[in-house]
Structure 1
Amino acid sequence: MIFDTEHYKKLGKEDFESAWHAGPSVLTPPSASSLYPRLTYSRARVHPVFETIHRLREAYLAIGFDEAENPIIVDEQEVYRQFGPEAMAVLDRVFYLGGLPRPNVGIGKEQISKINTILGRDLTGDEEESLRKTLHAYKKSDIDGDELTYELSVVLHTDDAKVVDILDQVFPEFRELKPESSRQTLRSHMTSGWFQTLGAVWEKIPHPIRLFSIDRCFRREQAEDSHRLMSYHSASCVVAGEDVTIEDGKAVARALLSAFGYTDFQFRPDEKRSKYYMPDTQTEVYAAHPDHGWVEVATFGIYSPVALSEYGIGIPVMNLGLGVERMAMIMNKAKDVRELCFPQFFPVRYTDTELGRGVSLIQEPETTPGKTLVRSIMETATAQGSANGPCSFKVFEGELMDTQVRVFVEEPEENAKLLGPASLNEIFIYNGAVLGVPDTEKFAEVRKNGIPTGISYLFAAASKAAAEIEHAARQGMETTVQVKMAKLPGDINLKIEPWVRRYITDNNLKTDVRGPVFLTIRSEIVQNEEN
C-alpha cells in the first residue's frame, strides 16, 4: 500500500484550508456581551507554538490520519527493546523519574514529649496508638502524602497548623528525605510510544493504519540555547500496512507540508541513522518556501524489522516526525526558540500602534451634553485663541446634570493670550516614546511617521473641565478649572497605562508632554428667573 503521491502533490494550501473550515465553527455565544458587559471583545492573540499545533492537527486529519495519544512515561526496558546496544547512549539524554521514599518514623518518649509541648496538653493512650497506626499506614502507602496532614489532625484532635509544626519539629526524617530514581523515564521521542501503541493494535484494527500524535517530549540536553529546549513538541505519525514503502513518507511529507505553503521538496539521506530505522531509509525532508528558501522540516524512515519484532509487529511501518517549535520558528521568522515559546521571560516588544492603545484620558464627561461641551470649548478656544486677556467667551448654556449652567473659556490675566503656546500640541507615539508635539517643521518626522493618539492638549484639558463641571453641576455648584504649565501627563489629563510606562522605562525611552497650556474654563449656575 502506498499513498497516491500525485494526488497529494496537487493539494495546496487552499484545499487544506477548505477542509479545515468545513468543520463545525466555534462561535462566541450571542449572550456573552450581556453576561459580561464590562468586557470589550476583540480577537485575542494565539501562542505561535499552539497555533502551529492546531494547523498540524487539522492537516493530519484532512489527509486521513486518526489522532492517538502515546504513553508519555516510558520504562527504561522499552528503550533497550528499540535501540538494542545503543540504548545506553540514548538513555544518557532522557529524564528518569524519581520520588521521595516513605520514611520509617519512630515514636519514643522524646517524640511524645515534643508533641505534647506543641499541642499544649498530653496525648491520651488512644491518640498515641492512633498516631503510630497512621504513620505506619503512610509508610505502607495506604495513606497518600497529601492526605497525611489531615489524617494526623483527625487522630490527634487538633488543627492542620499544629500537625505541620509536629512534622517539622518532631520528625526530622521528613525533611531529610532524598529523592530516589526509578526506572521510569519521560519520553524523549515519540517513537518510544509508537512501538507500544502499534504493538497493542496492529492485529486488532483494519490496515493500513494511519495514526498521528502531537505531544510533548523531553530531552536532557546539556544546555538550552536558541534552537534547543529540554521540553518540546513532536508532531509524529505512522503508516503501517503490508505495502508500506519509503514512498509513503514522501507522500505524507508533501501532503502535510503543502498546508504550510511549501511547494517543492527534496529528500536527502539522513546521516544520523537511528537504530530503530532500516538502513538507508532514514530521510530528511527539505522544502522550499517563498519566504524562507530551502529548510529542513521533517524526518521519516521505515522502522527496523528487528525493533518491530520486539513488539510482535508483523507489518512494515513508516514513521514521520517534525519538531513543532522548529516549524513555528520558521513560520514566525524567530531566531530564538526560548523567546518564541516563553516570551513572558524576555523583554516585551510593542509597536507604536499597540502602545497608543495604552494612552487615554484620566477624566471624561459622562453625558451627551458633557461631550457636546467638550466640542464647544475646543471650537471657541481655537477660534479665539489669540485674544488678549482679560477676556471671556461663553461656550455653553443649557442643562447639565439637571442643572442650568453657563460655561466660559477665559483668560483672567492682562496681556496674556486665551490659549497658551502648547494648547494645540498633539500626542504621538514615535519609536516607543510618548511625545506631545506641535504642527511645526521641527516635528514633521514625528507627525509623519509616528502614531497619532487623537488626543491634543486642548481636547484633554477640555475633557477634564467638562467632567468636573458635570460633577459640580450635579451638586448645584460652580467651578473653575485651570490647566497651566504641563510637566507630567497628569497635568493635561493624560493617562498612560502602567504597562506602557514600564515599557518606556525598561527601554530607556521617554515621555515628553511639557508645554505651556494656560487654559481657564469656568462654569456658573443659571438662576431660575421665576425665583
Structure 2
Amino acid sequence: MRFDSEEFRALAREDFDGAWHKGAEFIPKAPVSKSYPRGKFVRAKAHPVAETIQRLREVYLSMGFDEARVPLFIDEKDVFRQFGPEANAVLDRVFYLGGLPRPNVGIGRKQIGRISELTGVTVTEETEEKLRRTLHAYKKSEIDGDDLTHEIASVLGADDGIVAGMMDEVFPEFKELAPESSRTTLRSHMTSGWFLSLGEMWDKSPLPIKQFSIDRCFRREQEEGPTRLMTYHSASCIIAGENVTLEDGKAVTAGLLSAFGFTDFEFRPDEKRSKYYVPDTQTEVYAKHPVHGWVEVATFGMYSPYALSAYGVEVPVMNLGMGVERLAMIEYESDDVRVLTYPQMYPREYSDFELAGAVGLKEEPATPEGITIAYVIEKTAVSNGDAESPCEFLAYESDDFCGMKLKVYVEEREENSKLLGPAAGNEIFISDGKVLGVPDTKSFKKVRDKGVNSYISYISAISNLAAARIEESALTGESGEIQVKMAKLPSDLNIKIEPWGMRYITDRGLKVDLRGPVFTAVRWKFE
C-alpha cells in the first residue's frame, strides 16, 4: 500500500481523526491504529500534606487572616515564661540546638613536616605564618567551616582534594570534636512563636490582629509511630483584640472544617489544661465527617493573661491549633502518618491503571514516516491474518524513503499455516497486578472487562519493532527482516516493563504472561 494512495488516506480517516501523540510532541495528521494509545497529559500528584496545607491557607486567607512566619528557634527561658510550672515537662520533649566548637589548632614542626610530605609543598616560614593566621581566623569565626579547606589549600598552593584528605591526619583536633548543646530549642508548639510575635506587634498594629501560620513543630518523641512524628505541621492562628472571646475560636473552627466536608461540630473541654491557656477555656474540637464519623481535629483556647503579661501583651488573645497531618490522614483515609508523610520509604501499592504505564515498547520508530510504516504493517497483517501460507503482502512502498526506494512486506514462508499465528492479535491487559496477553474471546472476557488495556497488541509491538529497524537500515541502505515465532518473554514481542513495575510484580508474587504463537515476519527491501 502506498503512503500517498487514496486507500491509505481512507484507512487513516477511518482509524484516526486527530493527532498522534508521541512522547511530548504532537505530530499533526499522522495515522494511528486503535492499538496505539493516544497520549494524555496527566496532572502530577501533590503530596497529601502539602495539598492539605494549601487548602488550609486558602481558607484562612478567605476568612481575613494574614499569613505570618513565627520564630522557629526558641530560647529556653521563653519556654519557662510561657509554660510556667509545665516548662520542665515541655523541655523534656524539645530538641536543643547544638554545634561543634571551634578548636584552637596549633602547628608544630611535626605537622609542618607531614604537610610537606602529603602535599609536596615546601612550607616556608612565611607560609607557616599564613597558616597560623588562617587557623586563628577560623577560631574567631572569620572563616566559615566549609571554606577552611579551600583557604588552607590557597595558602599552600595545593589542590583542595589533597588538602581535604590530609586534614584528619595533620589536624586530629577536628576529627575529635564533639557537639556541644546551646540553650536554644526548636519550636515544639506554635504558641512559643506566637508569644514572641505578639510581644512585638500587639501595640503597633491596628486591632484586632488576625494572623495564621502553617509551619513545622518538633517534638522529641520516644519513638515515631502510626500517629506520631518527631516533626509535624501545625495550622495555627491567633485573634488579638479588646472584644475577642472563646466564641471566635468556635467560628474559626467551623469555617476551617466546613471547607473539608465536615458537617457537625462538638466542642469538648480539654482535660490537659495547658498553663498558657485561661483555665476552662482549652477546648478540643470534634467534627463529624460523612465518612469517618466523629474525629478530634483541633484545639483552641484563650491565652492566659499571666503568660501574655510576660511579653507585655494587654489584650485578649484566642489561639487555635490544628494538626495538618491528622487532618490529611482523615482526608486521604490513611491509618499511618509515617506512610502518609514518607511514602517513598514504604512499599507502594499501584493500581492496574498505574501499572499500565510501566508497560511499553522496547523499540519504536522515531520519525513520522516510521510511525506510518508501523501503522500500515499492522493494518496489512491484521487484514490478511487468515491468508493461507506461504504468502506475502506488500504493506508499504515509497519511491523516496531517505533517498531510496523502499518496499515492506508482511509474509509467512512456511507451508500449511496462516499469515499470522493464533496469538498475534493478543492484547496486553493489566488485571489485579498481573500483566497478561489475552485474545478477544469469551474465555478471557473477565480479564478484559476488569483489567486495564495497555492498548498494545502483539502485532502492533512487532510492527513498531520492524519500523524502528527499517529506520536503522536506511542509514546503510541494507535490506532486512524480522521474524517472531513462539513468544516466551516480553522481549520476544518488543515489550519492556519498567524496572519499578517489574519490582512491584515480582515482590508480590504476581506474574507476567505474554506467551503465545505469533509466527509472522516482516521483510523490507531498499533499491
TM-score over 0.5 (shorter chain): yes
How far the C-alpha of 1:110 sits from its partner, in A, is 2.0
Maintained 8 Å contact 1:369/1:400? no
Question: Are 1:440 and 2:415 an aligned pair?
Answer: no
RMSD between superposed Cα atoms in Å: 2.1
How far the C-alpha of 1:470 sits from its partner, in A, is 4.4
Structure 1 residues 174, 446: closer, same or farther in 2, change over 3 A?
Answer: same
Question: Are 1:357 and 2:357 an aligned pair?
Answer: yes
Structure 1 residues 233, 367: closer, same or farther in 2, change over 3 A?
Answer: closer
TM-score by length of 2: 0.88
Provide the residue aligned with 2:411 in structure 1. 410
Maintained 8 Å contact 1:400/1:470? no
AA paired with 1:108? G
Please give the alpha-carbon distance, in whole angstroms, between the structure 2 residues aligned to 1:490 and 1:524.
25
Provide the residue aligned with 1:216 in structure 2. 216
Q: How big is each residue's C-alpha offset from its partner over 1:60-101, in whole Å with a ceiling of 9 and x where there is no partner? A: 111111111110000000000011122111100000000111
Please give the alpha-carbon distance, in whole angstroms, between the structure 2 residues aligned to 1:157 and 1:85.
59
Q: Where in structure 1 do 4 or more consecutive aligned residues deviate above 6 Å?
A: 36-40
Provide the residue aligned with 1:85 in structure 2. 85
Unaligned runs of 5+ in 2: 1-23, 27-38
AA paired with 1:284? E
Provide the residue aligned with 1:490 in structure 2. 491
Structure 1 stretch displaced more, 477-486 or 58-67: 477-486
Structure 1 residues 453, 135: closer, same or farther in 2, change over 3 A?
Answer: same
How far the C-alpha of 1:456 sits from its partner, in A, is 1.1
Q: How does 1:166-177 map to 2 (within 5 A)?
A: 166-177=166-177
Please give the alpha-carbon distance, in whole angstroms, between the structure 1 residues aligned to 2:431 and 2:465.
25
AA paired with 2:426? N
Structure 1 residues 429, 90: closer, same or farther in 2, change over 3 A?
Answer: same
Maintained 8 Å contact 2:397/2:408? yes
Q: How big is each residue's C-alpha offset from its partner over 1:415-469, in whole Å with a ceiling of 9 and x where there is no partner? A: 2332212111110011112111123343222111011111111121222223333
Q: Tell me the secondary structure at the aligned position of residue 285 of structure 1.
A: strand
AA paired with 2:56? L
Please give the alpha-carbon distance, in whole angstroms, between the structure 2 residues aligned to 1:434 and 1:467.
24
How far the C-alpha of 1:354 sits from its partner, in A, is 1.4
Provide the residue aligned with 1:252 in structure 2. 252
Provide the residue aligned with 2:319 in structure 1. 319
Q: How big is each residue's C-alpha offset from its partner over 1:105-164, in whole Å with a ceiling of 9 and x where there is no partner? A: 222222222222223344211112222222122222222212211222222232222322
Provide the residue aligned with 1:523 in structure 2. 524
Provide the residue aligned with 1:112 in structure 2. 112
Q: How does 1:465-484 map to 2 (within 5 A)?
A: 465-472=466-473, 475-484=476-485
Question: Are 1:378 and 2:414 an aligned pair?
Answer: no
Please give the alpha-carbon distance, in whole angstroms, between the structure 2 residues aligned to 1:476 and 1:109.
74
Please give the alpha-carbon distance, in whole angstroms, between the structure 1 residues aligned to 2:162 and 2:372.
65
How far the C-alpha of 1:46 sits from its partner, in A, is 0.7
Maintained 8 Å contact 2:121/2:158? no
Structure 1 residues 364, 126: closer, same or farther in 2, change over 3 A?
Answer: closer
Provide the residue aligned with 1:207 in structure 2. 207
AA paired with 1:506? D
AA paired with 1:285? V
Q: Tell me the secondary structure at the aligned position of residue 217 of structure 1.
A: strand
Q: How does 1:295-334 map to 2 (within 5 A)?
A: 295-334=295-334
Structure 1 stretch displaced more, 128-137 or 472-481: 472-481
Question: Are 1:455 and 2:483 an aligned pair?
Answer: no
How far the C-alpha of 1:272 sits from its partner, in A, is 0.8
Provide the residue aligned with 1:419 in structure 2. 420
Q: Tell me the secondary structure at the aligned position of residue 174 of structure 1.
A: helix
Provide the residue aligned with 1:24 in structure 2. none
AA paired with 2:431? Y
Q: How big is each residue's C-alpha offset from its partner over 1:221-278, in whole Å with a ceiling of 9 and x where there is no partner? A: 0000011100001100011111111111111111122211222111000111111111
Please give the alpha-carbon distance, in whole angstroms, between the structure 2 residues aligned to 1:460 and 1:367.
16
Structure 1 residues 195, 473: closer, same or farther in 2, change over 3 A?
Answer: closer
Question: Are 1:508 and 2:509 an aligned pair?
Answer: yes
Structure 1 residues 212, 248: closer, same or farther in 2, change over 3 A?
Answer: same
AA paired with 2:525? E
Structure 1 stretch displaced more, 148-157 or 197-206: 148-157
Maintained 8 Å contact 2:396/2:407? yes
AA paired with 1:417? K
AA paired with 2:483? Q
Maintained 8 Å contact 2:121/2:156? no
Maintained 8 Å contact 2:270/2:282? yes
Please give the alpha-carbon distance, in whole angstroms, between the structure 2 residues aligned to 1:65 and 1:281.
22
Please give the alpha-carbon distance, in whole angstroms, between the structure 2 residues aligned to 1:334 and 1:510.
28
Please give the alpha-carbon distance, in whole angstroms, between the structure 2 residues aligned to 1:419 and 1:400.
29
Structure 1 stretch displaced more, 223-232 or 395-404: 395-404
How far the C-alpha of 1:368 sits from its partner, in A, is 5.1
Q: How does 1:127-276 map to 2 (within 5 A)?
A: 127-276=127-276
How far the C-alpha of 1:37 sits from its partner, in A, is 6.7
Maintained 8 Å contact 1:68/1:213? yes
How far the C-alpha of 1:201 sits from its partner, in A, is 0.6
Structure 1 residues 422, 204: closer, same or farther in 2, change over 3 A?
Answer: same
Q: Tell me the secondary structure at the aligned position of residue 182 of structure 2.
A: strand
Please give the alpha-carbon distance, in whole angstroms, between the structure 2 residues aligned to 1:363 and 1:298.
55
Structure 1 residues 127, 371: closer, same or farther in 2, change over 3 A?
Answer: closer
Please give the alpha-carbon distance, in whole angstroms, between the structure 2 residues aligned to 1:252 and 1:382.
65
- State the identity %: 61
AA paired with 2:172? P
Provide the residue aligned with 1:55 in structure 2. 55
Please give the alpha-carbon distance, in whole angstroms, between the structure 2 residues aligned to 1:274 and 1:42.
47
How far the C-alpha of 1:41 sits from its partner, in A, is 5.5
Unaligned runs of 5+ in 1: 1-35, 527-531
Provide the residue aligned with 1:69 in structure 2. 69
Aligned pairs, number? 491
How far the C-alpha of 1:500 sits from its partner, in A, is 1.8
Maintained 8 Å contact 2:488/2:516? yes
Q: Tell me the secondary structure at the aligned position of residue 272 of structure 2.
A: coil
Structure 1 stretch displaced more, 251-260 or 218-227: 251-260
Please give the alpha-carbon distance, in whole angstroms, between the structure 2 residues aligned to 1:432 and 1:249.
48
Please give the alpha-carbon distance, in whole angstroms, between the structure 1 residues aligned to 2:105 and 2:474.
75
AA paired with 1:137? A
Maintained 8 Å contact 1:405/1:473? no
Please give the alpha-carbon distance, in whole angstroms, between the structure 2 residues aligned to 1:137 and 1:470.
65
Maintained 8 Å contact 1:235/1:322? yes
